[in-house]
Structure 1
């Protein structure tokens, strides 16, 4: 049974057709532009989700929405400023010199230095992650370091012929460090090399730069990208900025270890390296180095292992019988390692080593 069409509907159809016919050229122009705008917005959203992950994106959206509530943003900004003011006012700067003195201070320099040192916290054995020194000022290790630093304070290792002693000591430190990290094993290839640096950050920076240059020479990558777990050290962020590398930070798994499957999803033709830590600083957990090594090998990309914290612990823990998983150059795929001698190597602050699997990676 057919129902009669109401007169008002016919009138509406006529009006709509008249409108469409009148503005048809404009609609034909606006529709693709509007569709393109929507597509770009969706693309941006999916890109943010891909970079940050869905959970982080939702949290960021919720926080942005909360800040739109009247008074909330102002409150957050005021709390941030309180922290800044506290940090800036944490030290009493009254009496601090801002210009060179008109006359020399003579022996008073040492007197003032001793006075200021009295204000330092007694840190021996009480400040984890700050300074790694065995014993105290009255024990042999501390005195040995003081005497060694005094003996070589006025040397310049850039001038090999003038200071061959320093060159020898650096070479020996690098060789001994490499030896405990697999250089003597057949799996390492027997070409491990490296040099000393001023700390873990510099070691990581050099490893990243070497990987970038090596991948450019080997695979022609000119728009480099690297993939790291969110638990990795902030030095990789610095390296990405310094050396113009796109950085992907990937969420860790439920055990706070690098998620190998997640990292694999980010690998593309521009990927130069992936990263693992043994252990990572936030959680003290060793990433699955062996699995990451297999992944790097299968894609023929570099793989850096951050052993800054564990480099002088894990080899000896293994000898003591602890179940330490593979972490060094015996793992195929590991192309570089950073390890801090000034941590559990108990050297003075400002001493680290960066190692490479072979000379080819280092020389580029």
Structure 2
């Protein structure tokens, strides 16, 4: 043992002498500059790999190319000019129409003539019925009776204020019924859901998603103490998540979809860290109409103890009925373990007028953070 210790000590002494001899060839200033340069290169490489990790190699290389192109004399001007061409082309079609728009209050009222003016303007709209998928979700000759029903209902309640439910009790009742019936479609009464699904109505998909993200942020802050929240989404997710990230100061990590255009569970897992508050799945996503692997994402979220929002805005009033008709629909609702919130648009295939959506939460413990003030 003593021989081993002596040999090891001799090795250390010889190594130290060799290092000193090597360093003695350089001036102290040169050594300092070399150290600083090494640290700088390491920092640049670390930043580069972080960007590649967040955005992917393709997007990173494209970004570097565009940045480099702008450094070339005239490069930035060329890009700006091309952008302006697109904007001008888009605006040229509506500029002449906008010139006819009123920009000041009229000196005299229109009286009954305002209705004729509105009818004339509406007559110039595109004939969309049965032709514009994804614009208005009710169409065809059989829808006329439904339109009349909606118009009568809207005119009956258009002057109510849902903020004052003690006055407009009927509005509170109808909202509660819509939420309850929607939750029932999405498994609220199934044992796997826990039987405590709660929610509220909103003005549309964007607001429902904003509510879900804000609620998840505040819930996770209470649960884990996260103060620098992040969320992970597939690049096929709705643009409302980008808005939510900006509004609520959340770092957004967007990852590419897999070869089947579904959310890549493995890629999402790689982006989860100690600041992750939630992940997102779509059933289906708007770009491709494909259902993400909700069950796998639910298991992933549950294993990390984070929130999982399912965007059912497009398919929420289709998938439950398709499943009942015998179609092989993969799990997508609150029966999936790990799902903490769901958004579903009633104004799409729920056939309500535009501006009607529902956001649901697995239980009241999560739901109560939708009304909390926690910036």
Shared topology, TM-score over 0.5? Answer: yes
CA distance in 2, matches of 1:269, 1:71: 44
- The answer to whether the 8 Å contact 2:205/2:313 transfers is yes
Say if 1:134 and 1:141, in contact at 8 Å, map to a contact too.
Answer: no
Note the alpha carbon deviations across 1:126-182, whole angstroms, 9 max, x for none.
001001124359721011111111111101011111111111111110001000000
Rounded to whole Å, the distance in 2 between the matches of 1:35 and 1:72 is: 32
C-alpha separation in 1, matches of 2:178 and 2:305? 30
Q: Residue in 1 aligned with 2:86?
A: 83
Corresponding residue of 1:7: none
2:164 equivalent to 1:164 = no
Which residue in 1 is equivalent to 2:317? 312
Which residue is 1:62 aligned to? Answer: 65
1:94 match: 99
Where does the alignment leave 5 or more consecutive residues of structure 2 unmatched? 1-22, 370-375
Q: 1:200, 1:352 within 8 Å by CA — same for their partners in 2?
A: yes
Report the secondary structure of 1:103's partner residue.
coil
* Alignment partner of 1:225 is 2:230: yes
Partner of residue 6, structure 1: none
SS in 1 for 2:27: helix
Which consecutive residues of structure 1, in runs of 5 or more, have no partner in the other structure?
A: 1-19
The SS at the match of 1:349 is coil
Secondary structure (helix, strand or coil) at the match of 2:98 reads: coil
- In the alignment, the residues of structure 2 paired with residue 181 and residue 255 of structure 1 have an alpha-carbon distance, to the nearest angstrom, of 25
What TM-score does the superposition give when structure 1 sets the normalisation length?
Answer: 0.91
Name the counterpart of 1:238: 243
The worse-fitting range, judged by mean Cα deviation, of 86-95 and 49-58 is 86-95
Residue equivalent to 2:44 = 41
Q: CA deviation at 1:103?
A: 1.6
Q: Any idea what the Cα deviations from partners look like across 1:245-284, whole Å, max 9, x if unmatched? A: 1110011111011111111111111110000000000110
C-alpha displacement of 1:41: 1.1
Residue of structure 1 equivalent to 2:113 = 108
Q: Could you list the runs of 4 or more consecutive aligned residues of structure 1 that deviate by over 6 angstroms after TM superposition? A: 20-23
Assess, with a 3 A threshold, how the Cα gap between structure 1 residues 309 and 280 changes in structure 2: closer, same or farther: same
| Aligned counterpart, 2:288 | 283
Contact 1:135 1:142 (C-alpha < 8 Å) held by counterparts: no
Distance 1:233 1:292 in 2: 17
Shift of 1:29: 2.5
Alignment length (residue pairs):
345
1:90 to partner: Cα distance: 2.5
Deviates more, 1:267-276 or 1:101-110: 101-110
- What whole-Å deviation, never above 9, does each CA across 1:179-221 have from its counterpart, x for those lacking one? 0000111101010010000000000000000000000111111
Partners of 2:251 and 2:67 lie apart in 1 by 25
2:33 to 25, 30, 34: 30
